[in-house]
Amino acid sequence: MSCFVEEARDVGSRARVGRLSTLHGEVETPAYVVVGTHAEVRCLRPEDLPRAGVQMIIANTYHLWRQLGNDLETFEGLHKRMQWPGPIMTDSGGFQVFSLGFAREHKVGKHKDKPSRHSARADNENLVRITDDGVFFLDNGEELFLNPELSITIQEQLGADIAVAFDECTSPEHDYNYTRESLERTHRWADRSLRAHTRDGQLLYGVVQGGAFQDLRERSARFIATRPFDGVAIGGAFGGSFGSTREETLRELDWVIPYLPTDRPRHLLGIGRIEDVFEGVERGVDTFDCVIPTREARHGGIWTRRGRFDVKRGVFRNSTSVLEEGCECPVCSYGGDYYTDRGGLHLLFKERDPRATHLATLHNVFFFNYLMGEIRRAIREGMFSSLKREALSTLKGLPPVSGTMEAT
């Protein structure tokens, strides 16, 4: 029986509303999956999560593996650790194969024209050694081995509702031949992940890779579709924010989606900006995860319907405006002697008061979850194209935001 049911479809696109069922509850889709890398959503308390409209959280398998070590065998599970009763997803560690490996060696981020956060370092050593059996990570002079079987075991020990098959995320600098060889290896790892997966009730997603090459992307989509995965995650070198590589990423989605089963959920790895979400939903994506709401909040980046602004800028020093007019988040709607307006939040950041990152994160997470709710409503009412047009025209009509930062 499928874990996913499609409930409504947009007449002019592949956008759809659905319901994803897990052991810890249901998720209405399209949905934003909030990042909790180390088994916590940074700057938010457990009681903040429902107030911010959170439906599902994604934690990082590689970092938790490194953090917990031998304690994984007696780990109480992500739900108890996070004091969160709802669905939790974990990745496979496949992105760290890229971020700790060729991202450093090639001095790139997820896109060719966006440098890696390691690019400014004098030491750009590739810390990863890839073999057909698995991956060796160099950590403080010691090599640590991760393969499909161990990745699945870790995700089962973490107790995630949704696990992801182990894969290799390739670099934007990789040529066709390397990408093809990597894809064949990822497909073998997908089958090994399926054989290793034994936890009853835990859903397992396969990963579509193939870089920026149409025939490889289509081959991967067809391959994953033939395997008994519960859902599909779409990843790869261009799997981050669309940004200046928007056209490439949109083409990749257009190549992939037609080959994926309609009765399984589709997750887009690492996507998060407003325009990204609308374009992904229009093409049939059901869930997204990204650090943008939380990471940018910690640096003063506030997201609204009109885009992002940096509340730390001096222009907001004496502002008495709420973060976003009409917003019903716990911050904007508080109305008490709390530092909830732009000037107050500016002051908290200036004084490095921990309330600053808490309030900014609470607003941002609420905003993106509210946006997804509006998208679901618009699809049900046959108004998705109108909502998208209105939202994106508002964004395009704005001047560049001073102080804008990429999520790093």
* Residue owning tokens 């938010």: 44
What percentage of the chain's residues is helix, strand, coil (to nearest 5)? 40, 20, 40
d(CA 335, CA 329): 11
Sign of the CA dihedral 388, 394, 400, 406? negative
207's CB contacts (< 8 A; 6+ apart) are 92, 94, 164, 165, 167, 186, 190, 224, 232, 233, 234, 235, 269
Annotate 256-323 with three-state secondary structure.
HHHHCCCCCCEEECCCCCHHHHHHHHHCCCCEEEECHHHHHHHCCEEEECCEEEECCCHHHCCCCCEC
Residues acting as catalytic residues: 91, 289
- The CA-based diameter of the chain, rounded to the nearest angstrom, is 61
